[in-house]
Structure 1
Amino acid sequence: MLHAVLGDYGLDEAGITMDTRFHEDLDLESIDLVTLGGHLEARYGDAVNFAEYLAGLGLEQIITLTIGRLVEHVAACLRDSGEH
């Protein structure tokens, strides 16, 4: 999904870990997060509401959001909805 959002723009898969931050490490802007949310919705439907998740975070939490926190959120949503 990150490739879909960023295209070939400096995405080094070897350098992406659970601690990689969307803003500081990947230079994603808010519009990129909206695009990522669209990809998550297309993939998981209503089971994963990324916009709602972001709305529940403070500004500092959004700025420091990591791949790992997003993965944990998606996994929890899928677990709660019974989807895999």
Structure 2
Amino acid sequence: MLDIGRKLQNLREAHGMSQRALARRAGISNTLVSLIEKGKTCPFIASLKKILDSFPVELSDFFVPRPDAPPRTGVPRK
């Protein structure tokens, strides 16, 4: 399962951006960015698109697993 919050946090930090700066750029609240990164809420696609527009990342690319990502563990879903 994709951890949207962790992936977003890694992307933000890789670009040297604070949560507040990302929120300002995306036109959303920094509280929402924080909640997403902590896994306390799952963003609507429209909100995630606004966030990802702040980076050189397409929405579809965000959901593609990286080749260097650790393997998933657990029981596969049917």
Flag the structure with more relative contact order, 1 or 2, with Cα contacts below 8 A and sequence separation at least 6.
1
Work out whether the TM-score is over 0.5: no
Q: TM-score range by the shorter chain?
A: 0.3 to 0.5
TM-score normalised per structure 2: 0.33
